[in-house]
Amino acid sequence: MTSTDFPSFGGVAGSVGANLPALRGHNTALVLGLLRAAGEAGVSRLELAAQTGLTPQAVSKITARLRTEGLAAEAGRRASTGGKPATALRLVPGARHAVGLHLDRDELTAVRVDLAGRAVAVRHTPLALAAGAERVLGTVEREVAALLAGAAGPPVLGVGVACPGPLDHTSGVLHRVTGAPEWDGFPLRDVLAARFGLPAVLDKDTNAAALGLAQGMPAGAGSFGYLHLGTGLGAGLVLGGSLYRGPRTGAGEFGHQIVQLDGPRCGCGQRGCIEALCLAAVARGDLPGAARALGVGAANLVELLDIDRVLLGGRTVLDHPEEFLGGVSRALAAQARTRGGPGTRTAVSVALAPGGARTVADGAAELVLAPLFGGRPPVRQAGQGD
């Protein structure tokens, strides 16, 4: 055997060495993710083997462990196809819970979800993000305590926290949050983790929303963008099945994409930013104009990143869904017409992000859940380019 055929770990570009526990964890998470994707119907062991590329025996061992730990269970039998009928396996959603927090500028949404990502409890409260740390932390602590009060629930894995940016996901520290500069440098993740005695994860609201939306997608949905238009305009990017945050959690700053050279001045100091165009149009009641600006930005996004789908969310969009959906799809259709010929795709689909006002909070909980469920569902089966 020559050394020319290193499998390179399934095409994955990892950066650290892997040992046997890591191998086991990888495969376990992968199986758990497929169980989750299968939902109530469940999957048989052989189907899991086919989807993972593992042998049936390996899947049997892994699922046996998961059943022992209470994370998976049998879910009846399939109809026979000429032999012994397959036993369906499914996730036990109630085996663990997670908490998701959406700290917006004027309100707090807190959810408690099960392993399937379904909300078990929801709480809403007004919140003045700019009112100072102690005040805000007190409210957060009270709301989370109320969520966790349900006594005999399953173990809670952690707390996911979503905020307006900028912030640093890696260190869990807030930066100069627009409209609330006194939070600059505040180590929100570690402070909350200490108060709750639970692991915490911090991310931008748009990133959390995109991560949450990446679950509910049909298996193999590769890349999409979530555009959030509320008091500001931002985006969450899922590229190749995983959330792209950028080196400094700065990715997705969609609002200050310049689409009009020498256009109107934006609050950021530049000219012709999408956000400035959009907000000005909304302010003067020109919804088609706002939707058109958003649509041009969406088209640029699609062109640059070759994404499959655009999802819209945020209060302003939710207030006028038809106008924004129409405007953005017109812009994408115009773009698609520029690329005729076979082999190229048709217009990218546009839709409202499901979940409505709870999109971000659900996604925040996903920040905690996602590490349990390995990568995206398999796109390429095996056979490398040989």
Partner DNA sequence: CCACTTAAGCAACGCTGTTGCTTAAGTGCA
Partner DNA sequence: TGCACTTAAGCAACAGCGTTGCTTAAGTGG
Give the binding site for DNA (CB under 7 A). Answer: 17-21, 23-24, 27-28, 44-46, 54-58, 60-64, 80-87
CB 255 within 8 A of CB 298: no
Q: Which is closer to its own copies, CB of 79 or CB of 304?
A: 304
Q: Which is closer to DNA, CB of 54 or CB of 372?
A: 54
Instruction: Specify the amino acid at residue 116.
Output: A
> How far from 369 is each of 158, 264, 328, CA to CA, in Å?
9, 42, 32
DSSP bridge partners of 107: 126
Residue carrying the six token digits 């000219």: 271
- 298 makes contact with its own copies (CB under 8 A): no
- 264 makes contact with its own copies (CB under 8 A): no
**What tokens were used for 337?**
């017409």
Q: Which is closer to its own copies, CB of 11 or CB of 150?
A: 11
Q: Which is closer to its own copies, CB of 111 or CB of 296?
A: 296
- Of the candidates 164, 172, 232, 327, which one interacts with its own copies according to CB under 8 A? 172
Judge if the upstream peptide bond of residue 126 is cis by omega within 30 degrees of 0.
Answer: no
By CB atoms closer than 10 A (0-12, 13-18, 19+), residue 345 is: exposed
By CB atoms closer than 10 A (0-12, 13-18, 19+), residue 262 is: exposed
- 168 makes contact with its own copies (CB under 8 A): yes
Site size toward its own copies (CB under 8 A) is: 116
Least distance from DNA to the Cβ atom of residue 29, Å? 10
Say how far apart CA 45 and CA 124 lie, in whole Å: 41
Residue carrying the six token digits 């009928």: 85
**What tokens were used for 216?**
């509910």
**What tokens were used for 372?**
């349990």
- Of the candidates 250, 320, 333, 357, which one interacts with its own copies according to CB under 8 A? 250
What is the rounded radius of gyration, in angstroms, for the C-alpha atoms of the chain?
A: 22
Residue carrying the six token digits 């003045």: 128
- 153 makes contact with its own copies (CB under 8 A): no
First to last CA, the chain: 15
Q: Which is closer to DNA, CB of 21 or CB of 385?
A: 21
- 288 makes contact with its own copies (CB under 8 A): no
Q: Which stretch binds its own copies (CB under 8 A): 76-84, 104-112, 120-128, 299-307?
A: 299-307
Q: Which of 342, 345, 316, 343 is nearest to 332 (CA)?
A: 345
Q: Which stretch binds its own copies (CB under 8 A): 85-93, 118-126, 139-147, 304-312?
A: 304-312
- 385 makes contact with its own copies (CB under 8 A): yes
String marking each residue 67-106 x if it binds its own copies according to CB under 8 A: --x-x------------------------x----------
- Out of DNA, its own copies, none, which partner does residue 80 contact, by CB within 5 to 8 A per kind? DNA
Least distance from DNA to the Cβ atom of residue 62, Å? 6
Q: Which is closer to its own copies, CB of 50 or CB of 121?
A: 50
Which residues are within 8 A (CB) of 375 and not within 5 positions of it... i.e. 6 or more apart?
30, 33, 241, 242
- Of the candidates 94, 154, 166, 187, which one interacts with its own copies according to CB under 8 A? 166
Q: Which stretch binds its own copies (CB under 8 A): 10-18, 35-43, 80-88, 143-151?
A: 10-18
- Of the candidates 136, 254, 316, 363, which one interacts with its own copies according to CB under 8 A? 254
- Of the candidates 10, 94, 154, 288, which one interacts with its own copies according to CB under 8 A? 10
Give the alpha-carbon dihedral of 291, 297, 303, 307, to 10 degrees. -70
Least distance from its own copies to the Cβ atom of residue 70, Å? 8
Chain centre to alpha carbon of residue 10: 23
By CB atoms closer than 10 A (0-12, 13-18, 19+), residue 311 is: buried
- 191 makes contact with its own copies (CB under 8 A): no
